[in-house]
Amino acid sequence: MGYNNENYRRIRAAYKTKYLKAYEEAERRTAELHTKSAEVAEIDRQLRSTGAEIAMAALGTGADYRSRLAAVEARNLELQKKRSELLQKMGYPADYTKPPYECELCRDSGFVDTKMCECMRRELVLAAFASSGLGELMRSQSFDSFSLEYYNGEDRMMMERNLELLKAYAEGFDAHADSLILCGATGLGKTHLSTAVARRVIERGFDVYYTGAIQMFSDFEFAKFGSGTGEHLADPARYVDCDLLILDDLGTEVTNQFTNSCLYMILDNRINLRRPTIINTNLTGKEIKARYTDRIASRILGTFKPLLFAGTDVRRQKLTNK
């Protein structure tokens, strides 16, 4: 299962010291109470010694150790009761000096027994969203916000099938899932549905990287020449390492020898490692053959399962319906 290594290391490290914050806060609050009330300070001193006595009595033997144990326990309870009454009088909650963990389940350790706590899993998922390259797209594009209303007749049947297939793909995704190529004209929902897949696959704990073709080649250009237009977003290794790479708008880049060798390297590596990739493109199979080298075209056409998108530009339909 592929949590992004860098995220995992960072969050794991943060959890290693997280509970300390709660401890320090508890100590700070205790000191605060002690300066305000000598009585509470005295009770805490006595509580510490009854604590030790309980431990001793519990280890003890002899006929009367049960009654001794019962006596210190009773004394301990009485002190605690008195303490919470005092706190209440001073206007504090009774548990004021309990370490204020963010998560009571794992006491901010990130694990419950040997199982990862939900709170840590949630943080990993959030970090995965943040490092997925998806950003704003994420918010509005999901399976739920995808409507079949925009398609008619045969197109609709085709799109319904695509939708079902992609939902099942996301639910069943694993490290060696199929690679897909989503082909079709502009505005038909390729980016929308591939983003929906990304979202679900991230939620299920995998490392997804989403990128546009132009951005990807620009990242490689930056890595190789330290130059290039636009912003450098990802290390080239990210394109090979992630569990699922989503390469949007393939064919919008200016294709040249450099972009060809980058694309070949990524596809070849990912295919050899059996790591799934989703490509979105306006290009047809024929155009892919014409545009890219044989070695690239044969890898795409031979390994990627095609999903054809059909219909009338939804982007335009939405604009005119407004």
Ligand X SMILES: Nc1ncnc2c1ncn2[C@@H]1O[C@H](COP(=O)(O)OP(=O)(O)OP(=O)(O)O)[C@@H](O)[C@H]1O
Kindly tell me the burial class for residue 199, based on how many C-beta atoms sit within 10 Å of its own C-beta (0-12, 13-18, 19 or more). Answer: buried
Closest to ligand X by CB, 161 or 315? 315
Q: Is residue 97 within the footprint of ligand X (CB under 6 A)? A: no
Beta bridge partners of 44: none
Stretch that binds Zn ion, among 100-108, 126-134, 168-176, 189-197 (CB under 5 A): 100-108
Q: Is residue 186 within the footprint of ligand X (CB under 6 A)? A: yes
State the minimum distance, in angstroms, from the CB of residue 197 to Mg ion: 13
> Residue 315 binds what, of Mg ion, ligand X, Zn ion, none (CB under 5 to 8 Å, by partner type)?
ligand X
Please name the residue that has the structure tokens 């005119």: 320
Q: Is residue 119 within the footprint of Zn ion (CB under 5 A)? A: yes
* Helix (H/G/I), strand (E/B), else coil: 176: coil
Query: Pattern 132-161, binding to ligand X, x per CB under 6 A?
Result: ---------x---xxx--x-----------
> Residue 105 binds what, of Zn ion, ligand X, Mg ion, none (CB under 5 to 8 Å, by partner type)?
Zn ion
CB 76 within 8 A of CB 54: yes
13/228 Cα distance (integer angstroms): 35
* Helix (H/G/I), strand (E/B), else coil: 52: helix
CA 286 to chain centre: 38
Residues in the chain: 322
Which stretches of 173-256 are DSSP H helices? 190-203, 213-225, 236-241
State the minimum distance, in angstroms, from the CB of residue 184 to ligand X: 6
Q: Is residue 261 within the footprint of ligand X (CB under 6 A)? A: no
Stretch that binds ligand X, among 41-49, 184-192, 200-208, 295-303 (CB under 6 A): 184-192
Sign of CA dihedral 273, 278, 284, 287: negative
Q: Is residue 211 within the footprint of ligand X (CB under 6 A)? A: no
Beta bridge partners of 210: 246
> Residue 269 binds what, of ligand X, Mg ion, Zn ion, none (CB under 5 to 8 Å, by partner type)?
none
Q: Site residues (CB under 5 A) for Zn ion?
A: 103, 105-106, 117, 119
Binding site for ligand X (CB under 6 A): 141, 145-147, 150, 186-192, 249, 280, 282, 314-315, 318
